[in-house]
A = this chain, B = another copy of it.
Amino acid sequence: MRVGDRADCLALDAADELGALREEFDLPQRPVFLNGNSLGPPPRATWHRLSKVVREQWRADMNSAWWKHGWLDLPRTVGDRVGRLVGAAPGQTVVGESTSVNLFKLLCAALELNPGRRTVLTDAGNFPSDLYIADGVVRHVRPDVRVRRVEAHALAGALDEDTAVVVLSHVDYRTGELLPMREINRRAHAAGSLVLWDLAHSAGVVPVGLDADGTDLAVGCGYKYLNGGPGAPGYLYVAARLLPRVEQPVTGWLGHAEPFAFEAGYRPADGVGRLLTGCPPLLSLVALEEGVRLAGNVDTRLVRAKSLALTGLFAELAERAGAQVVSPRAPQRRGGHVSVRHPDAERIAKGLAGEGFMAEVRVPDLIRVGLSPLSVRYVDVWDAAAALGRVLTA
């Protein structure tokens, strides 16, 4: 449908098959959050779950709750829930530790899986923490390896016989550009390289098909479109074909085949559990499960369709209001957020906040507008674009 005015947006909201999901979140009337891609809003179920875990399970069963209430299984069961959202069959995904720690573990693992090759290839514009982790691995773990940063468009040409692993974000944290996972996997594999994907800005909003696309390794965070709560534990994925020979360096007890046998030697668990390390932060982990459960109850095609409609509408209205939109307009290249470039980005974001719309600045000059399809309405997009127009001309 062609959107001509605010009433059209209200009509779209009324007809939105995902509209009812908004009620599953505990949202204030104002402001409107256009930064759900930094931290998703609290699902109502999260609070009930925390209540049960703290006031019933922890209180009544203390340490035995790890077994009695299945807490010890959660890194694997919540991992499988995340897996379903990103096209991974069970047994390849676990949750626990932070995204950066998971990236460290899998990057070290990838270098061991592809011995003899000495280059980590990455996008120069990758999320800084991912770049820092790669540099840390080289500096402190594998001084025989180098990190090569190239612009995203030059990645294919930079693959060579020394490339051990390519480290990429599926969706660019600044521009929202979506990289073609299957195509990149295919090219990297043809060159004898592995690929390690960061799904932080794609899982839960963009269709991800890890198994179908032949992905090797992936990590991601739980607090964005998965609505897992502030600092929610991260997850990691290792393709089943790599599991029998994958090893990671942070060999803590929960990655052991029998953590509570207290054996003297480390014996990795069969399967993806061997990627675990320490005791998971349980309160944050059950909050993540509720967020993922909510996201998992929705048809991802509907989510993608609404996401593209929201971002397309915002990009169009923002340009009409005089903004410079830097995110790709082609749907197949667009993730879940839209960024606007402005030399005075801080002032624009403050102005938007004054109008009741919370967006985020990514230095130096981007205003990033995240439009979580489970909680943002078409009318919010209309109103946000109108507010942007007023702020730009103020």
- A204 at the B interface (CB under 8 A): no
Given contacts A100-B250, A229-B282, A277-B98, contact A262 B133 (CB under 8 A): no
Q: How far is the CB of A56 from chain B (nearest CB, A)?
A: 10
At the interface with chain B, which of A13-21, A304-312, A356-364? Answer: A356-364
**Bound-state Cα–Cα, A59 to B360, Å:** 17
A250 and B106 CA atoms in complex are apart in Å by 12
A343 interface residue (CB < 8 Å to B): no
CB distance from A269 to the nearest CB of B (A): 12
Residue of B27, B112, B128 near A140 (CB, 8 A) is B112
Q: How far is the CB of A123 from chain B (nearest CB, A)?
A: 12
- Does residue A261 face the partner (Cβ distance < 8 Å to B)? yes
Interface centre among A55, A66, A101, A229 (most CB of B within 10 A): A101
CA distance A251 to B104 in the complex (A): 9
Number of A interface residues, CB 8 Å? 86
Task: Pick from B221, B231, B255: contact of A285, CB below 8 A.
Answer: B231
Contact B55 A278, beta carbon cutoff 8 Å: no
Task: List the one stretch of A4-12, A41-49, A77-85, A333-341 in contact with chain B.
Answer: A41-49
Chain A, 216-254, CB within 8 A of any chain B CB: 221, 223, 229-234, 247-254
Contact of B287 with A283 in the complex, beta carbons under 8 Å? yes
B62 to A132, Cβ gap below 8 A?
A: no
Give chain B nearest CB distance to A198 CB in angstroms: 12
Judging by beta carbons under 8 Å apart, are B41 and A62 in contact? yes
Residues of the B chain whose Cβ atoms lie less than 8 Å from the Cβ of A62: 33, 35-36, 38-39, 41, 358
- Given the interface pairs A128-B264, A229-B283, A265-B135, the reply to whether A35 lies near B63 with Cβ below 8 Å is yes
